[in-house]
């Protein structure tokens, strides 16, 4: 686990309050912005991955990809940096809700059609904006769709652009090689599973179809 604990201050302003969760790539903490009531989430690269030849770049790719997006349905990134020991971190908006996987499990694996369409429309809006800006998510799954209650209904945020591919001219960052498979197999089309190099937005559309079926 990353070397952060309650009370630690990151980047001279974000005071860590508690652990939010541990993922395959990073550990996420809730933190307060200085003396204000504003909360943020700090994602720190897991220690065992620091020396990997591509994963640290892929981790920071999340911040680069998110910064390109204008859609309100993608998590906002506000800062990046390194801890004192050199471990990279990303500061993101704090989301007060649950992921779609938790919602589906709570609904016994079946949700009302109207609710599904409302959620899917917002996910599709996030993907449409990303694809228009040359960004592929490549790991769309229920765990990466956050649902936040709001006065007007459920509001979707797509998170974890950590294995995104940026296709925009002049901003491509090569962090994978042909034949390398990244993503979650259950939501990947055959081309992605085979490590095909020239993928496009259809990989995310395929994943959305699987998500809708579930």
Q: Which residues are catalytic?
A: 139
Q: Which residues pair with 174 in a beta bridge?
A: none
133-130-46-93 Cα dihedral, nearest 10 degrees: 100
- 104: part of which helix (H) or strand (E)? helix 100-106
Would you say 91 and 40 are in contact if contact means Cβ atoms under 8 Å apart? yes
Enter the DSSP assignment of 8: -
Closest CA to 184 of 24, 32, 75: 24
What's the rounded Cα separation, in Å, for the pair 62 and 46?
15
């Amino acid at each position: 686990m990353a070397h952060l604990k309650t009370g630690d201050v990151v980047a001279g302003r974000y005071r860590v309050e508690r652990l939010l969760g541990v993922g395959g790539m990073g550990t996420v903490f809730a933190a307060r912005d200085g003396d204000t009531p504003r909360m943020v989430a700090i994602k720190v690269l897991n220690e065992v991955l620091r020396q990997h030849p591509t994963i640290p770049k892929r981790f920071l790719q999340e911040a680069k990809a998110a910064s390109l997006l204008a859609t309100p349905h993608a998590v906002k990134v506000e800062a990046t940096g390194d801890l004192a020991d050199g471990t990279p971190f990303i500061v993101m908006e704090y989301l007060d809700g649950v992921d779609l996987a938790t919602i589906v499990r709570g609904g016994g694996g079946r949700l009302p059609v109207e609710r599904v369409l409302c959620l899917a429309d917002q996910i599709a809006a996030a993907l449409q904006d990303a694809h228009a800006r040359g960004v592929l998510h490549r790991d769309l799954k229920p765990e990466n769709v956050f649902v936040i209650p709001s006065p007007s209904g459920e509001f979707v945020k797509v998170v974890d652009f950590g294995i995104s591919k940026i296709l925009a001219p002049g901003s491509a960052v090569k962090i994978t090689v042909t034949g390398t498979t990244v993503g979650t197999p259950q939501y990947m089309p055959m081309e992605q599973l085979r490590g095909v190099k020239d993928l496009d937005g259809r990989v995310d559309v395929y994943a959305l179809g699987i998500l809708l079926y579930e």
